[in-house]
A and B are shown apart, each in its own frame.
Chain A
Amino acid sequence: NAGVTQTPKFQVLKTGQSMTLQCAQDMNHNSMYWYRQDPGMGLRLIYYSASEGTTDKGEVPNGYNVSRLNKREFSLRLESAAPSQTSVYFCASSEARKAGSKQYFGPGTRLTVT
């Protein structure tokens, strides 16, 4: 049971390049999330998917797109990377919305945009 996995672990991009961050979970969870964490800050929600086939914007969605490929996988795409998107990106998943359900986080992807 791997939990939440993310690829790649590290990535360096030049300004204007595009890339997709991959996330997969093996816990049969309905909901999945993408967060970013800047140095010294808490996590901020970029996008989430309450269930397969649905996606919604979070607090900081500008510059990103997401795809809920199936129940297991939720990808985050940067179409034209900017230095302001240098951050650590975390994917998370949780059971269907019920009171108190836990979120499980992946190990993160460290992205640097030069």
Chain B
Amino acid sequence: DAKTTQPNSMESNEEEPVHLPCNHSTISGTDYIHWYRQLPSQGPEYVIHGLTSNVNNRMASLAIAEDRKSSTLILHRATLRDAAVYYCILRDETGTASKLTFGTGTRLQVTL
């Protein structure tokens, strides 16, 4: 599976936008870019995914570089409830099941 590289931690002020980067220089043409987050003491939850084009949903936006070697998860206005570990995952869509390979993610700290 192609690997991703994320900063270990980031900090943000509440109500400010947050840009969480992810590098995936070995991404293949069949890999979708998925983002999940894990709030403290909970299971991961889906945030957003994309293939080539930028994507928006009610939780966040995903900006994908033209060469697909990097992407950025954008939280438009961080709140204290967004404090979590954010995982950038490349998912191979060619297998029998859509498995996720988690790295160590980026721990986002949100302060008042």
Contact = CB atoms under 8 A, between A and B. Distances in A.
A99 B41 CA distance: 29
A40 B104 contact: yes
Interface stretch (A14-22, A77-85, A104-112): A104-112
B93 A97 contact: yes
A33 B99 contact: yes
A94 B96 contact: no
Contacts of B42: 107-108
Nearest to A54: B96
B96 A42 contact: no
Interface residues of B, number: 24
A48 B99 contact: yes
Q: Main SS of the interface on chain B?
A: loop
Contacts of B43: 4, 90, 92, 105-108
A45 interface: yes
Interface string B72-112: 00000000000000010000010111111111110000000
B49 interface: yes
Contacts of A108: 41-43
B97 A56 contact: yes
A21 to B, nearest CB: 13
B104 A42 contact: yes
A48 B102 contact: no
Contact of B46 (A54, A58, A59, A104): A104
Contacts of A43: 44, 100, 102
A33 B44 CA distance: 13
Contacts of A49: 97
Interface in B29-66: 32, 34, 36, 41-46, 49, 51
B98 A31 contact: yes
Given A99-B32, A104-B46, A107-B42, 9 more contacts: A40-B104, A42-B87, A48-B97, A99-B51, A100-B32, A100-B49, A100-B93, A108-B41, A108-B43
